[in-house]
C-alpha cells in the first residue's frame, strides 16, 4: 500500500503443484517479494525515500518459520532454490516477514469467498471503495 491505497495486487492459480500449504504460501511469498523489489526500484527511480525493509504479512506460521530457519527439514528440502529468494532478501534487510492472523488478512479479499462484513472491512483496508451509483 502507498498513500492509503493498494498499488499492486494479483490473484491467479500457481503454475505448478506444491506438496503442502506451507510450500504453496512460500511460492506466493516469493512472487510477492519479487514484486516488492521491483516496486522499491521504481520508487527509487521516482526519487522517493527508501521503504526498506518492506513488510510482508503472512498468515501461515510454518512459512515464516521455514524462512527464518537455518536448516531444511524432510518436509521442506524439496523446495526449489529459486523460492529461497525470500530468505536472502530478509537476511539482507530488504524484507521483513510478520505474522498476520487469517482473521485480519486483508489479501483474502482477492483469494477467498468472504461474507459482506469482512468484504467491506478488507476493501476499506486496501483502499478499494465503491463508486457513485
Sequence ranges of the domains in the chain: 21-125
One-letter-per-residue 3-state SS of 4-35: CECCCCCCCCCCCCCCCHHHHHHHHHHHHHHH
pLDDT at 124: 82
Residue where the block lists cell 521483513: 96
Question: For the segment 46-56, what is each residue's pLDDT rounded down to a tens digit?
Answer: 888 877 898 88
71 in Cβ contact with 18 (< 8 Å): no
Average confidence (pLDDT) over 13-22? 77
pTM above 0.85, yes or no: no
Say how far apart CA 3 and CA 70 lie, in whole Å: 36
Confidence of residue 133 (pLDDT cuts 50, 70, 90): very low
Say how far apart CA 30 and CA 63 lie, in whole Å: 11
Amino acid at each position: 500500500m502507498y498513500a492509503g491505497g493498494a498499488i499492486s495486487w494479483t490473484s491467479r492459480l500457481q503454475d505448478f503443484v506444491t506438496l503442502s500449504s506451507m510450500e504453496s504460501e512460500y511460492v506466493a511469498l516469493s512472487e510477492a517479494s519479487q514484486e516488492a523489489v521491483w516496486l522499491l526500484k521504481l520508487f527509487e527511480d521516482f526519487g522517493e525515500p527508501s521503504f526498506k525493509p518492506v513488510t510482508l504479512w503472512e498468515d501461515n506460521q510454518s512459512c515464516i518459520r521455514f524462512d527464518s530457519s537455518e536448516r531444511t527439514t524432510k518436509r521442506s528440502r524439496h523446495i526449489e532454490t529459486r523460492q529461497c529468494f525470500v530468505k536472502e532478501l530478509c537476511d539482507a534487510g530488504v524484507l521483513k516477514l510478520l505474522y498476520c492472523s487469517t482473521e485480519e488478512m486483508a489479501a483474502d479479499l482477492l483469494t477467498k469467498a468472504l461474507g459482506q462484513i469482512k468484504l467491506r472491512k478488507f476493501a476499506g483496508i486496501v483502499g478499494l471503495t465503491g463508486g457513485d451509483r
